[in-house]
Structure 1
Amino acid sequence: MISKSGQSSEALLSCYAECDPDSLDRTAFAVRLDFSQYKAEVPLHQHRQGQLVMALHGAVTCRTEKALWIVPPDCGVWIPGGILHSNQATSNAHLSYLFVEPGAAALPMECCTLSVSPMLREMILRLADVPVNFAGNEHIERLVRVMLDELVQMPIEALSLPASHHPKINAITAALTDDPSDRRTLADWAAHVAMSERSLKRLMVEETGLTFGRWRRQLHLVIALRELASGASVQRVSSDLGYESPTAFIVMFKKALGTTPARYFSSQSADRSPRSN
């Protein structure tokens, strides 16, 4: 496979090839990554530090054993230290990773999507301008303290898809991830996995915390965020998800996030593109 940069994907480096986070002794540090230069997928791994994955352009999917997250603009996925996770970036992704030493701030103990204010975003990008091997000074230390204070204040957003290890839920998840336009009902899926509709309904809530209808809408939302962030049109996404019209898809999107796709992604304008080094 050839990437947009013209390089073979096999020739691209891991984004951690030039910097091992666990080798650095810093309260917090940040890096900025253009994934045209790195492998899009970072396989299952973990860090000693907590990690905030922030999308500057495009999108990235983060997976743990409990859930799947899409990182849209103005948000970041917080992954506490020691949690196994994998990342899959879209081909146009520009990301920033912020690493925070355990105990340096009162951050969530579970993975979650955090809103990222414009001020916090700029502080993280300023820190990313500092070389990772920089010894630090009082100015940078003050920046880190204020940045962490701001990060702790960020609200949690409901932009994850609960996962399950149950084989029957996994079978449904795999099928709908492969073909999200599949509109089979709960009764149809119950027959498919050899269960009664009542038993599957109960199992879905037990395993994911959501009814089947809400879980499928959340799956559609997660997929839509990823595809829209990578440049797909609303018309194409609505068709791929099996909606009768773009209007029906926009109604679902607005109900979930309180705004239309166009307004939601308006923050990805040129003035919010990653700054050149």
Structure 2
Amino acid sequence: MKNVPLDTVDHVDRAVLPIGTDYPPGHVLDWHQHRRAQFLYGATGVMVVDTAQGTWTVPPERAVLIPAATQHRVRMVGVSTRSLYIEPDVVPWWPASCTVVDVPPLLRELLASAVEFEADYALSGRDGCIATLLLHEIAARTPLPFHVAIPSSGDLTELCRAYLAAPDVAVTNAQWADRSAMSERAFTRRFRSETGESPAVWRARARLLAAVPLLGTASVSAVAGRLGYASPAAFTAAFTRAFGLPPSRFAATHHGGERGPTRRLLHTA
């Protein structure tokens, strides 16, 4: 199914509903939730998925697993999606929070085939086998570290959301503490308790995540300069250390990308 609203087929008695959707550049799916779990794959472009708990950046040819009934927002940068909407009781191993994963060639081809199904596709034969194999392939994926946590407190949430929208290397802990009417020490302690990271470490990671959409339209050197890195080499080293691949792998001109061995972390029970 392509460009079919989920609510028109959600009632169909199929554990897995595949839907492909094309979005205009810069499109935002505002806050919403699904009754089913969602496997959201970006065949092209970059997606940024927000929940109350965090922000997940989904590079090209990656996907995000979204738990059922999770309130979320998706910002699209030149994205054509292939989604699977899955009955929660058939995937008890689904992660409890959003998770970004790699999408290797086999899974990619299965998704491309599945979005051609009718909503009431036959469970016996080829279509049903593809739907079953899709779940096995998803269960074998390894989570990727393309996310930052969002604090639960309103004032800290506001600081972090604003920084994600416009990362600024010049921002300091002292400035954030002052805006929160706290001492720097108290602010840092509170921030760490809500995110698991110091403010400085959090900001450094947020800047790297912000680089992923930018790399689709700008060179590594340009992105490094825009985000305040001393040199492209410094940016490349930090990006590679955080995500396991150099930023050149996420450029618009690069297709595929190197993938390391897959470890089974999501598993069927």
User: TM-score range with shorter-chain normalisation?
Assistant: 0.7 to 0.9
Classify 1:171/1:270 alpha carbon distance in 2 versus 1 (closer, same or farther; 3 Å): closer
> Which residue of structure 1 lines up, in the alignment, with residue 74 of structure 2?
87
> Which residue of structure 2 lines up, in the alignment, with residue 64 of structure 1?
51
> Which residue of structure 2 lines up, in the alignment, with residue 250 of structure 1?
236
Q: Structure 1 vs Structure 2: percent identity of aligned residues? A: 27
| Counterpart contact for 2:4–2:19, Cα < 8 Å | no
| Counterpart contact for 1:22–1:47, Cα < 8 Å | no
Q: Distance in 2 between matches of 1:132 and 1:265?
A: 35
Alignment of 1:150 with 2:137, yes or no, is yes
Deviation of 1:235 after TM superposition, in Å, equals 2.5
SS in structure 1 opposite 2:10?
A: helix
Deviation of 1:19 after TM superposition, in Å, equals 5.8
Classify 1:20/1:152 alpha carbon distance in 2 versus 1 (closer, same or farther; 3 Å): same
Deviation of 1:159 after TM superposition, in Å, equals 0.9
Runs (5+) with no aligned partner, structure 2: 258-269
Classify 1:186/1:210 alpha carbon distance in 2 versus 1 (closer, same or farther; 3 Å): same
> Which residue of structure 2 lines up, in the alignment, with residue 162 of structure 1?
149
Alignment of 1:210 with 2:210, yes or no, is no
Correspondence for 1:226 among 205, 213, 234: 213
TM-score (norm: length of structure 2): 0.85
Deviation track 1:173-198 (CA, whole Å, cap 9, x = no partner) reads: 14423431242221232223221111
> Which residue of structure 2 lines up, in the alignment, with residue 29 of structure 1?
17
> Which residue of structure 2 lines up, in the alignment, with residue 139 of structure 1?
126
Q: Distance in 1 between matches of 2:60 and 2:22?
A: 15
Q: Distance in 1 between matches of 2:86 and 2:134?
A: 11
Q: Distance in 2 between matches of 1:28 and 1:185?
A: 47
- Matched AA of 1:29: L
- Matched AA of 1:224: A
SS in structure 1 opposite 2:178?
A: helix
- Matched AA of 1:262: S
- Matched AA of 1:195: M
Alignment of 1:108 with 2:95, yes or no, is yes
Deviation of 1:74 after TM superposition, in Å, equals 3.3
Q: Distance in 1 between matches of 2:17 and 2:86?
A: 7
Deviation of 1:146 after TM superposition, in Å, equals 1.4
SS in structure 2 opposite 1:98?
A: strand
Q: Distance in 1 between matches of 2:44 and 2:197?
A: 30
SS in structure 1 opposite 2:65?
A: strand
> Which residue of structure 1 lines up, in the alignment, with residue 37 of structure 2?
50
| Counterpart contact for 2:35–2:69, Cα < 8 Å | yes
> Which residue of structure 2 lines up, in the alignment, with residue 262 of structure 1?
248
Deviation of 1:209 after TM superposition, in Å, equals 1.3
Deviation of 1:268 after TM superposition, in Å, equals 4.5
Deviation of 1:246 after TM superposition, in Å, equals 2.1
> Which residue of structure 2 lines up, in the alignment, with residue 129 of structure 1?
116
SS in structure 2 opposite 1:56?
A: strand
| Counterpart contact for 2:44–2:61, Cα < 8 Å | no
Alignment of 1:40 with 2:20, yes or no, is no
Classify 1:104/1:171 alpha carbon distance in 2 versus 1 (closer, same or farther; 3 Å): closer
> Which residue of structure 1 lines up, in the alignment, with residue 260 of structure 2?
none
Classify 1:107/1:175 alpha carbon distance in 2 versus 1 (closer, same or farther; 3 Å): closer
